[in-house]
Amino acid sequence: MDRRRRTNLLASYTPYERQAEFHAAGAKNRERLFMAGNQLGKTRAGGAEWAMHLTGRYPSWWQGKTFDTAVRLWAAGVTGEGTRDNPQRVLVGPPQQQPAWGTGMIPADAIVHTTMGRGAPGALDSIVVRWGGGGDVQADESVLSFKSYEKGREKWQGETLHGVWFDEEPPLDIYSEGLTRTNATGGITIVTFTPLLGMSDVVLRFLDAQAVASRDLGSSPPPWRGRGGREADGEGAS
């Protein structure tokens, strides 16, 4: 793979049908869940969408949520190591190989600055990403911060955000706190995970009455679910 392609994976991202449905559902749902088995593209889909929002680079086929300003986003996993090895890896590149940062979904030419975290080796605390700057769109800067569930709900308070990406299923209190961070902007939450915890409180938020009554997550439910109806109006939302 030549360097130009390696440092701009977002330009070549082509979702398969289920990923495309998940993305498109963001046009009408503030909350979305994408649950499927391992290695089926859940984290890749989340990373591609987050990279689009961070950069403002939406492809011509895009039918999902868009923001018309730079954004503040979070991406989170169960532990610091899990966040580093999944969302950070997909968005930035191999955590332990800094020369390869910029080979994830965020294009290399859009990464303005990275701040290292204090926990797991190679883990980032945040990234500043160049937003817009093409045509008549004035350039600005988005900010992505990395979080983990293990730090507890208190570490999730205070910020106003445009979106939170939960990679792997969060506890309900963490999910609720993350969702609250997006209320003022009419922002979004996405959850990408393999359903290992059964009928958890977070899963129940997305299941219809028939699915809940069946108590059967193994009967091939739709891979994505949405909540929230039409999105609330808010700064930077469209």
Active site positions, annotated? 168
Report d(CA 11, CA 136) in Å as an integer: 20
Residue 27: partners with Cβ closer than 8 Å, 6 or more residues away: 63, 64, 65, 231
Report d(CA 54, CA 76) in Å as an integer: 16
Residue 114: partners with Cβ closer than 8 Å, 6 or more residues away: 92, 101, 124, 126, 127, 128
| Beta-carbon count within 10 A of 40 CB | 16
Residue 61: partners with Cβ closer than 8 Å, 6 or more residues away: 20
Question: HSE on the CB side for 27, CA within 13 Å?
Answer: 8
Report d(CA 194, CA 168) in Å as an integer: 7
Cβ–Cβ < 8 Å for 6, 101: no
